[in-house]
Amino acid sequence: MFFDVVFATTSAIDPSQTYALDDIIRVGIALVVLVSGFLSVIFILWWGVMLILSGGKDEKVKPAINSIRYAVVGLIVIILSIFVAPKVGDLLGLNVSTYVSPKVVFATIQDLSSKFFGNKDTIDLSPGSSGNGTLPADFSNL
C-alpha cells in the first residue's frame, strides 16, 4: 500500500517505458552530483552558523573551520570529477563521454528538476500574464 502511494506521486519514472543501462547510469550520476552538491552547501551554511555562534572559543572554532574546509574540498572534488571523469574514461577506452560529460550531466540535472518541480524555465512578464501587468499611476492601491 505504501509503495502504491509513493509510486503514484512520482512522475519522473514512467513504468511503461524501458530504460537502457546508460540512461540509468546517467541519471544515477546526476542524482549523486545533485545530492552531494546540495549537502556540501548545507554543511557550509550550517558550520558557518556554528562558527558565528562559537564566540571565538578555540574548542568550537576549530571543528567549524575544519568542517567548512572539508565541505568546500568535497564541493571542489564533485565539480572536478564532473569534468575529469569523462576524460579518464575515454583515455581508458571506455567511451563514457556520451553519458558522463558535463553537458549531459547538467542537462540530466535540469531534466530531473523540471520533472520533480515543474518546468519554470521562463518567466512571463507580459501585461496579460498574472494580474493585469500594469501599475497604477499614483500607486495608491498597492
Residue 5 lies in a domain: no
Q: What is the pTM of this model?
A: 0.68
Residue 140 lies in a domain: no
Write out the residue range of the structural domain in which residue 82 sits: 20-117
- 133, 126 contact by CB (below 8 A): yes
pLDDT digits (tens, 9 = 90+) for 95-135: 888 778 999 999 999 888 888 777 765 555 555 455 555 55
Residue 131 lies in a domain: no
Q: How far is CA 64 from the centre of its chain?
A: 24
Residue 78 lies in a domain: yes
How many domains does the structure of the chain reveal? Answer: 1
> What cell does 94 get?
571506455
pLDDT digits (tens, 9 = 90+) for 17-42: 788 888 888 899 999 999 999 999 99
Residue 111 lies in a domain: yes
Residue 137 lies in a domain: no
Residue 4 lies in a domain: no
> What cell does 107 get?
542537462
